[in-house]
Amino acid sequence: MQHLELLTDPTSWDRFLDDFDDEMAGISGMHRFLVMTAHAQFREEFDRLMADVTDDSYDGGDAIWDAENALGINPWDVEGHAGLMAITRAVSLAEVTLARMAAAWVGPAHHYVFPMGNLWSRQWEALFYRTVLVKPFLMSANGFSAARDLRDLYTHGYGVPATEERRSQVAQSLYSNFSSSSATPEEHALGFDGEAYFFGQFARFDPKAGRIVTYLGMSKRAEVSKLAAHRVMRQIAIHIHAAHASFEAGLRTDLSSTGNKFVRTATRWWERRSQPD
């Protein structure tokens, strides 16, 4: 049985936040570039088409159709998918960072954090941050669980909920944790405007009804606005910085295999694997 070791000189600890922030800046920057460029080029093509109108029957709807055909994209589709892709990358980056931080403080890492060469389970992750740190840290904080639900919905189901109940559950979690209000002055300065939504621009979550309601057709899949994606990624960054800060209070010293739930869970998992079928 591998006993958990506390490392007094954590490896590369000072670099974790810098590495995370640099990578998150890249994800956020790519997201902004994709959605802003798509909308700008679409608007440019739309204006060009409308400026050349000679037929009185040709209107804005025709120009939107022709602009989409000319560019091969619909900027609202780009916005919806780019936001989900960015959130997916951000959540995965956060998960890896949470594991790397833990592996810097406890060992052997291959036993407690990267079993069988894989990333630890969410159960282990939650138990570590709740029971090993002197200052417990909850994985559900800062809307991280909601962001994970959205990532899972997109990664494993292309953003399409299997049932209306599932859609309502995810929507309630998202709208409870992330503001759907208009862009703040700070967000405007970064180029974000419009509204914050998660299931298309015509759908909103009704807390009284406990479900998504729409006034112009229901999207069959998650469609995230650029403002909503920005807010989710910002909260993910806050989550990682808060987790990092929790380590400052130190780790518990009473980490025996029988007294600590994280160590006990990992120990039992390895014991089951060592038993013959």
Q: Are 198 and 228 in contact (CB under 8 A)?
A: yes
| HSE-CB for 191 with a 13 A CA cutoff | 12
pTM: 0.92
User: 132-189: per-residue pLDDT in tens?
Assistant: 999 999 999 999 999 999 999 999 998 888 888 888 899 999 999 999 899 999 999 9
User: 220-272: per-residue pLDDT in tens?
Assistant: 789 999 999 999 999 999 999 999 999 988 899 888 877 899 999 999 999 99
Integer Cα distance of 272 and 258 in angstroms: 16
Q: Are 272 and 115 in contact (CB under 8 A)?
A: no
- The angle at the Cα of 11, spanning 145 to 24, to the nearest 5 degrees, equals 40
| Cα end-to-end distance, the chain, whole Å | 19
Residue type, 214: T
The confidence score (pLDDT) of residue 37 equals 96
Tell me the backbone φ, ψ of residue 204, rounded to 5 degrees: -135, 155
Sorting pLDDT into bands at 50, 70 and 90, what band is 206?
Answer: confident
Integer Cα distance of 186 and 164 in angstroms: 35
Percentage, residues of the chain above pLDDT 70: 95
3-state SS string for the chain: CCCCEECCCCCCHHHHHHHHHHHHHHHHHHHHHHHHHHHHHHHHHHHHHHHCCCCCCCCHHHHHHHHHHHHCCCHHHHHHHHHHHHHHHHHHHHHHHHHHHHHCCEECHHHHCCHHHCCCCHHHHHHHHHHCECCCCCCCHHHHHHHHHHHHHHHHHCCCCCCHHHHHHHHHHHHHHCCCCCCCHHHHHCCCCCCCCCECCCEEEECCCCEEEECCCCCCCCECCHHHHHHHHHHHHHHHHHHHHHHHHCECCCCCCCCCHHHHHHHHHHHHHHCCC
pLDDT at 11 over 70: no
User: 37-79: per-residue pLDDT in tens?
Assistant: 999 999 999 999 998 888 888 899 999 999 999 999 999 999 9
